[in-house]
Amino acid sequence: MPNGTFCAGESLGTNIIIRCVNGVAGPGNCNDNLSGEPPIGNFPTTCWQTSNSSGDAACAAGPMGSVVRLRAAEAEMSAPLLRVSQVSRWFGGLRAVDEVSFDLNGNEILGLIGPNGAGKTTLFETISGFMRPTKGAISFDGRDITGQPPHRMARLGIGRTFQIVQPFRDVSVLENVIAGVVGPNREAVDPRREAMAVLTRVKLHHRSAALARNLSLPEKKRLEIARALATRPRLLLLDEVMAGLTPTEIDEIMVILADIRRSGIALLIVEHVMRAIMSLSDRIVVMANGRKIAEGLPAAVAADASVIEAYLGRRHHGPA
């Protein structure tokens, strides 16, 4: 292969993913397709390249290990799974979230980034029903869900994790997940078996008998994901599940999240770990001071002057 480069291709729902596994600058031939699919095409391996439904290609500089996505026409034409329209949440005079709008498509990974206090968690609270928006509307799968309570959101298919992990500390890992499997108005033929399957997906099955409070931080983060997955979501909201983890532990979570998306679940991810969010996300929304300041492909957002000014200039080149 030219320049010693190679790519791994895989099909994720309506997306075709090409992961630039290794390589050097210059054009590379994506003909080493680990999934056994036919070669997809030639791409510069150090570039982030996308193709829209009409086949036009756009390319912007992206880091090694970045992901190339070719989105099929159906995904772009279908209605969004989640629509956030002009949502605001005020605390007295503080506009924690201020008229934020965006769409999230089914089977999409949307990253939500921004500096501390930008309003990301508050926005999550409104989408998952833990807080009513002060203004604006939220729809899920075409139906208005604005202000619905959390249990209703969960039943509709919106699962979430919490920035501060919140397991039942004095019961086992397995029982924590079973509580999600058999939540309000949910039936399960074999909750134990279903919970073990979820634990296997997040690679925590070997700790099923441990008390939640005895887990390490990376294990607690994976339990948090498992508890949300147990509710059988169609959309999973993840709030800083990589915070405090080592690079290796972050890599492990990234594999788990890619696997979750492969199973057909859309993801809205809040994360400060730029390496991970930029590589996992199809698109990125950036917030600062409660407002959306940018939205677009990861490479375009990373190059946006207002985003660098508000956030990335301080964080993007850090150890994360």
Q: Which residues bind ligand ATP (CB under 6 A)?
A: 91, 94, 96, 114, 116-122, 163
Indicate the Cα dihedral angle 173, 121, 67, 17, nearest 10°. 70
Burial of 227 (0-12, 13-18, 19+ CB in 10 A): buried
Both structure tokens of 59: 């390319």
Under 8 Å between Cβ of 108 and 265: no
Shortest gap between Cβ of 32 and ligand ATP (angstroms)? 39
- Listed ranges 113-121, 144-152, 183-191, 308-316: which one lies at the site for Mg ion (CB under 5 A): 113-121
DSSP string for residues in 17-75: EEEEEE--SSEEEE---TT-PPP-EEEETTEEEEE-TT--EEEEE--TT-EEEEE-HHH
> Which residue, 5 or 122, has its beta carbon nearer to ligand ATP?
122
Check binding of 5 to Mg ion (CB under 5 A): no
Cβ distance to ligand ATP smaller for residue 117 or 183: 117
Binding partner of residue 117 among Mg ion, ligand ATP, none, CB under 5 to 8 Å per kind? ligand ATP
Question: Per CB under 5 A, does 121 bind Mg ion?
Answer: yes
Nearer to ligand ATP, 119 or 159 (CB): 119
C-beta of 264 vs 318, nearer to Mg ion: 318
In whole angstroms, the minimum distance from the beta carbon of 116 to ligand ATP comes to: 3
157 binds, among Mg ion, ligand ATP, none (CB under 5 to 8 A by kind): none
Which one, of 186, 265, 255, 173, lies nearest residue 215 by Cα? 173
Contact call for residues 46 and 2 (beta carbons, < 8 A): no
CB of 290: closest distance to ligand ATP in angstroms?
Answer: 7
Count residues binding Mg ion (CB under 5 A). 2
Q: How far is the CB of 225 from ligand ATP (least distance, A)?
A: 18
The whole-angstrom separation of Cα 129 and Cα 150 is: 4
Q: Which is nearer to ligand ATP, 96 or 297 (CB)?
A: 96
Considering the complex, state which of residue 258 and residue 273 has its C-beta at the smaller distance from ligand ATP: 273
- The two three-digit tokens of residue 142, written as one number: 């075409």
Report the DSSP pairing between strands 6-12 and 15-22: antiparallel
**Which CB, 3 or 163, lies closer to ligand ATP?**
163
The option from ligand ATP, Mg ion, none interacting with 54 (CB < 5 to 8 A, set by class) reads none
**7/288 with CB nearer ligand ATP:** 288
Alpha-carbon distances of 255 from 6, 178, 279, 296, rounded to whole Å: 19, 23, 11, 23
Cβ of residue 269: shortest distance to ligand ATP, in angstroms?
13
Angle formed by the axes of helices 217-229 and 191-201, nearest 10°: 130
Angle, alpha carbons 167-128-191 (nearest 5°): 50
Alpha carbon of residue 232 to chain centroid:
16
Q: Which does residue 119 touch among Mg ion, ligand ATP, none (CB within 5 to 8 A, set by kind)?
A: ligand ATP
Look at residue 122 and give the partner it binds from Mg ion, ligand ATP, none, a contact being a CB closer than 5 to 8 Å depending on partner kind.
Answer: ligand ATP
CB-nearest residue to Mg ion:
121
Least separation in angstroms between residue 241's CB and Mg ion is 12
Q: CA 235 to CA 231: how far, in whole Å?
A: 10
What residue ranges bind Mg ion (CB under 5 A)? 121, 163
